[in-house]
Amino acid sequence: MDEEQLVRFLQRKFSFPNGRGIGDDASAQRINPSATWGSRIVAKDLFVEGTHFNLHHYSLAQAAEKSVGANVSDMAAMGGRGMEIYLGLGVPSRARTSDLEAVFSGIHKACRRWRLRLGGGDVSKAPCWFFSVTILGHALRPVFRDRAQDGDLIGLVGRIGESALGLALLQRNTPDSFYTRRHIQVNLHLGAAEELGRVASAMIDVSDGLLKDLSRILSASQVGAEIHIENLPITRRMKACCRQHDLDAQQLALTGGEDYALLCCIPPQRLKLLKGNGERLRIIGRIRSSPQRLTCLLNGRTQEIPAGGYDHLSNNLSDSRESPEFDNPR
Amino acid sequence: MDEEQLVRFLQRKFSFPNGRGIGDDASAQRINPSATWGSRIVAKDLFVEGTHFNLHHYSLAQAAEKSVGANVSDMAAMGGRGMEIYLGLGVPSRARTSDLEAVFSGIHKACRRWRLRLGGGDVSKAPCWFFSVTILGHALRPVFRDRAQDGDLIGLVGRIGESALGLALLQRNTPDSFYTRRHIQVNLHLGAAEELGRVASAMIDVSDGLLKDLSRILSASQVGAEIHIENLPITRRMKACCRQHDLDAQQLALTGGEDYALLCCIPPQRLKLLKGNGERLRIIGRIRSSPQRLTCLLNGRTQEIPAGGYDHLSNNLSDSRESPEFDNPR
């Protein structure tokens, strides 16, 4: 069963409220129509040893911290702010006391960094380390994936492909400390998320690659898009590093995951409402009306989409990158 | 690191609100002081293949259903009612489409049975099946573990030891369909929980065994207790089945887990406030002032506590029954 099939199956089986179906970064519910503080947002992300991380690359504290960061990113991509987390922790029998201390040091660091409270959780023996984090928070104006419209500008805050480059270098045993850090640590853009949340028609965090995450917006909104590859934020440093290691910077930027950049769609007339963080926003393309058709342009000419990009959705569940989130939008 | 050490470590490291520390079935927060609907309750329980269940005994649908039931039980033991669940699902690479359909059939059945909504979740490849369920709900009057007082009656709703008997018979390859069902299925007492929630000073669900779960109340409330073993709800059928298989019914009742019976402490003067469900309540003992001292009496004479009971807390984390919950009470 691939991701789309699972989502369709779940949509048939469970009556997600308002018939909006599933597929956002998090779920959002209005708690109290008269309250001024909007909607409650809940997100849940798994981070499993052997699937999402291995301990040759991560310390336990780093893995624990990243498992929280990925959830904060999902919350931010909904225009929300996290308040507290609940941790389900799988512990292999080889674990020592110092390992548990390391895990909770990472959780503690994440809680301080992103101003979260550890609300509770559960610990169990398991065949591998895993982190199952549920984050609770709220948003004044939740932003979904299904409201992108023809003509919206496609914007990006943060760099893309650098986490994948860091991982590729780690896997080749030619680590580069800068890109290792880009892979191991979660760099979030919470200020930008807050500001973008007020104006964006749709938003998502780039956790599975630009093309894949953009395709989720297109699919949910029933629109198409064109991306101008020359506008992607690929640094000279990244280009040089990729050349040196015979890697394709453009492909990494289009398909690499776990950068936690923010990808949003903004009606052009709302662009002027952006203040400070508007500077950090790169316009990389535009939403088009042709349903779910994605065109990549380089200097005005159509560029072939690299392997591992837009077609990822047809891969099997056993591909680690295919882990579907089935959060629903209301 | 054993459970008590982990809890102490977490108490030092994380400032659980109001200094109430951790250790309840679920966490509870007043959302809005002016609201009439009390506190939001959140619980989280892991259910891991090889630790909590194996697929020789459970179908995937049954395991999925039980993983939700255990959370509903935690919610009920706080005097709360669950509203929605979030599911983190670990899927081994051997899984087929029909396995995923079975899992979500079990989740669907649980949602219908306990009137829950599936709010969202995440799916990931993992070395084994695991279910990480977070349940959100609310309570008019949350019931904690730390408010049992000298003189309170200790009451029990539901049977105990029958799930452990079912498991023992499965493990010996001499299954008994009645007790297998008692082990595989979660039988909750939600009506009783609602009524007891209004009068109890402390409450917990018997998920890790009567002595162990009672000891959690004693430890949190800094009190002791005496239990009258002749008052335990052990049926003739269970006694006969235990005799036949050379098992100790009394020990199973005192230490067997996963019955999801309700164990509560009630000030005697409040007993008369119980209506319908009062009939189902068995008084099995009384809270005493001597801190954390637990005496088991049989026909008035002190009974030695069977191995595997009260002293479980000193076991290692690697014992599956020792999985600590670190939910906090506020």
- B89 SS3 class: strand
* Residue reference for tokens 């297109």: A218
Number of compact structural domains in chain A: 2
* Interchain CB distance below 8 Å, B44 and A86: yes
Same structural domain, B72 and B193: no
- For residues A151-170, average pLDDT: 97
Q: Does A118 score more than 70 pLDDT? A: yes
- For residues A276-296, average pLDDT: 87
Burial of residue A289 (CB within 10 Å: 0-12, 13-18, 19+) is exposed
List b or e across B72-93, with b for residues whose CB sees 16 or more CB atoms inside 10 angstroms.
bbbbbbbbbbbbbbbbbbbbee
Is A3 inside any structural domain?
no
Burial of residue B96 (CB within 10 Å: 0-12, 13-18, 19+) is exposed
* Interchain CB distance below 8 Å, B120 and A22: yes
Q: What number of residues does chain A have?
A: 330
**What ipTM, to 2 d.p.?**
0.89
* Interchain CB distance below 8 Å, B121 and A87: no
Is A242 inside any structural domain?
yes
- For residues B153-168, average pLDDT: 96
Q: What is the pLDDT of residues B224-281, one digit of tens each?
A: 999 999 999 999 999 999 999 999 999 999 999 999 999 999 999 999 888 765 668 9
Q: Does B2 score more than 80 pLDDT? A: no
Same structural domain, A283 and A220: yes
Contacts of A19 (CB under 8 A, 6+ apart): none
Cα A257 to chain centroid, rounded = 8
Is A175 inside any structural domain?
yes
User: Which of A16, A123, A317 is facing B91, going by the closest CB pair?
Assistant: A317
- For residues A86-102, average pLDDT: 94
pLDDT of amino acid B21: 44
Query: Would you say A320 and A16 are in contact if contact means Cβ atoms under 8 Å apart?
Result: no
Distance CA A256, CA B89 (A): 24
CA angle B58-B132-B318, nearest 5°? Answer: 75
Is A303 inside any structural domain?
yes
Same structural domain, A280 and A205: yes
Q: What is the pLDDT of residues B9-32, one digit of tens each?
A: 777 777 665 434 466 777 776 655
pLDDT of amino acid A19: 37
Q: Does A77 score more than 90 pLDDT? A: yes
pLDDT of amino acid B11: 75
Please report which helix (H) or strand (E) contains residue A167, including its range: helix A162-171
pLDDT of amino acid B19: 37
Looking at beta carbons, which residues of chain A come within 8 Å of B44?
86-88, 120-122, 134
CA distance readout (Å), A172 to A165, A167, A245: 11, 9, 10
Same structural domain, B60 and B192: no
Q: What is the pLDDT of residues B116-155, one digit of tens each?
A: 999 888 999 999 999 999 999 988 888 989 899 999 999 9
Same structural domain, B87 and B203: no
Lowest-confidence range among A107-121, A162-176, A301-315? A301-315
Is A269 inside any structural domain?
yes
Q: Select from A37, A42, A75, A86 the residue whose CB has the most chain B CBs within 10 Å, as the one to mutate to test that interface.
A: A86
pLDDT of amino acid A14: 80
Q: How confident is the model at residue B56 (pLDDT cuts 50, 70, 90)?
A: very high
Domain boundaries, position A180: 153-319
Q: What is the share, in percent, of chain A residues with pLDDT greater than 70?
A: 85
Backbone angles phi, psi at B225, to 5 degrees: -160, 155
Q: What is the pLDDT of residues A192-217, one digit of tens each?
A: 999 999 999 999 999 999 999 999 99
Lowest-confidence range among A162-176, A306-320, B92-106, B155-169? A306-320
Query: Would you say A64 and A103 are in contact if contact means Cβ atoms under 8 Å apart?
Result: yes
**Among residues B139, B167, B196, which one ends one of the domains?**
B139
How confident is the prediction for chain B on average, in pLDDT? 87
Q: How many CB atoms lie within 10 A of CB A103?
A: 24
Same structural domain, B157 and B291: yes
Q: Which amino acid is at B58?
A: Y
Same structural domain, B213 and B305: yes
pLDDT of amino acid A313: 33
Q: Does A326 score more than 90 pLDDT? A: no
Same structural domain, A185 and A300: yes
Same structural domain, A165 and A282: yes
pLDDT of amino acid B275: 77
Q: Residue A238 is part of a domain; what is its CATH number?
A: 3.90.650.10
- For residues A125-141, average pLDDT: 94
pLDDT of amino acid B83: 93
Same structural domain, A177 and A275: yes
**Among residues A83, A106, A139, which one ends one of the domains?**
A139
Is A256 inside any structural domain?
yes
pLDDT of amino acid A47: 97
User: Which of B10, B100, B122 is facing A323, going by the closest CB pair?
Assistant: B122
**Among residues A105, A139, A173, which one ends one of the domains?**
A139
Distance (Å) from the alpha carbon of B13 to chain A's nearest alpha carbon: 7
Is A12 inside any structural domain?
no
Same structural domain, A158 and A82: no
Backbone angles phi, psi at A227, to 5 degrees: -115, 135
Q: Residue A110 is part of a domain; what is its CATH number?
A: 3.30.1330.10
Distance CA A207, CA A260 (A): 5
Q: Does A319 score more than 60 pLDDT? A: no
Question: Of A204, A122, A129, A121, which Cα lies nearest the Cα of A160?
Answer: A204
Q: Which of residues B202 and B15 earns the better pLDDT score?
A: B202
pLDDT of amino acid B261: 97
Question: Which residue of chain A has the CA closest to B319?
Answer: A125
Q: Does A279 score more than 90 pLDDT? A: no
Same structural domain, B108 and B59: yes
Q: Which amino acid is at A306?
A: P
Is A330 inside any structural domain?
no
